Structure 1
Amino acid sequence: MKKLKNMKESTNLLYQFIIKEMPVINKTQENVFSLDYVGISDIRITVKELNLIAKKLNSSCDNAVKRGKPNYLKPGYENVTCQWNTGLQMKKGLMSLDKKVIQDFVIFSLMWIVGGKKDEDKPCFTRPNDKGNYVVGNIVVDTRLNNELGKSRESVSRPCMLIATVNGSVIPEEITPYKSTIKAAESVVERLKLQCTPKTLQAKASEGKRYKVLDEDGNVWSVLMQTDYSKNPDQSGMLSVEIGGKKYYPY
């Protein structure tokens, strides 16, 4: 019950923000309201969508606060701090001190919903200065895919080991070392005729995340790229991938 009450309070807080800080038009009973935004006309927000946006905003604030904690050890977040101690504090702080961030989050969320709620289109908070902290002035909204692509550019020249399996079976020839993640992605997309772009594969299949994608014949490939840095290196100091009892390493 407490969780439900908190969600209602969160939705109401977002509702009040939108009514006060965004261009609302055509408020009706059927829809909570419609928005008239730059480049976008008559976007309708229903009660269901408002609840979903509020929930997404809560989780995004919670995640940003978590990434600013001393015990968050994911590479790229060393020494990163957050201006707020809780997700609720961050949400209220942004609503007060940096309204455009919340406005953008609402619009990005609506585009995500209208576009079919694709995982790659989910809104998220990111830092323009990735060496800086989660503070007012260094927080913007972007899609999840754009954020991952931005991070993947940092590792574009890193050597990697690419492992590709098809329909659940390991293909020995597809355990291949490459001198950079983008070269690996370009090579495997062209060679296996995968139905995705090299940049998407680079973002989705890097750093220990398996990415499933179809080839032109309808086969399901699972692609994984491991680079020479990871939060779980073995004793050699390099990330290894073990398949069939044998370890494979990047260059």
Structure 2
Amino acid sequence: MQNATTIGKVYITGAGPGDPQLLTLRARTVIELADVILYDNLVNQEILDWSRPDAIKISVGKLPYCSVITQETIHQWMLDHALEGRQVVRLKGGDPLIFGRGAEEAAFLQENGVSFEIIPGVTSSLAAAAYAGIPLTHRENAQMVLLATGHTKRGTNKGLDFDWDQLAAFKGTIVFYMGVKHLEQIAESLVKAGKADGTPAAVVENGSLPHQRVITGNLSDIAALSKAAAVTTPALLLVGEVVKYHQQLNWFAAVQSIHQQAIA
């Protein structure tokens, strides 16, 4: 695909939540044709294996609260490779425009005269909830969904700058991305703002992967239960009445059981 006489193009691509089978057809197409792939820490290695043998693959992943490669560096690498005529895939976990900094990267490319395409991916809240048997909406229990990030911008001291009263009054399902570090604070703040401490809550770790874990409880004990289970990133917190459907709709447990037997 490389053409030294023209500026390359950047494909800001969602890699989905983890399970390679949840990748979109468009995403796979550009991965297979890319000259360069700049990929995040959470991208499944199986997805990278679809690339050309001669493709340049560069890890630009960030670990939570430990950014080894700055966002500015990623911007510059995208630009440099595109200016050299290469077709670049910026491969991001989940969906690039949902807490993924895809808008920042697209704006940088636009400002520097590089064409880009944004390829959506299955965001982790959709996949983790589905694989946990937790419907984000339900006619009887939730007509709305609210997505929030439990991870603050690096270099800021605002902490979790939410309108807690508004969140506590929200009648639908609330999903907190990247909230493991602040799990106790989130639960306590919601209860302090008026949400019932018995409100069902679940933490889904490694959603859609064979080693997925689901910890269920309520706002009064979800932090303690998650701590006792040594939950780590990546994980999502789901809050709302829909969590109660987990036991009934937990289809993925059977898949995990088969997988565990196969590797035993």
Report the TM range for the smaller structure's normalisation.
under 0.3
Q: Could you state the TM-score of these two structures normalised by the residue count of structure 1? A: 0.28
Larger-gyration structure (1/2): 1
Question: Which of 1 and 2 has higher RCO (CA within 8 Å, sep 6+)?
Answer: 2
Instruction: Give the structure with the larger helix fraction.
Output: 1
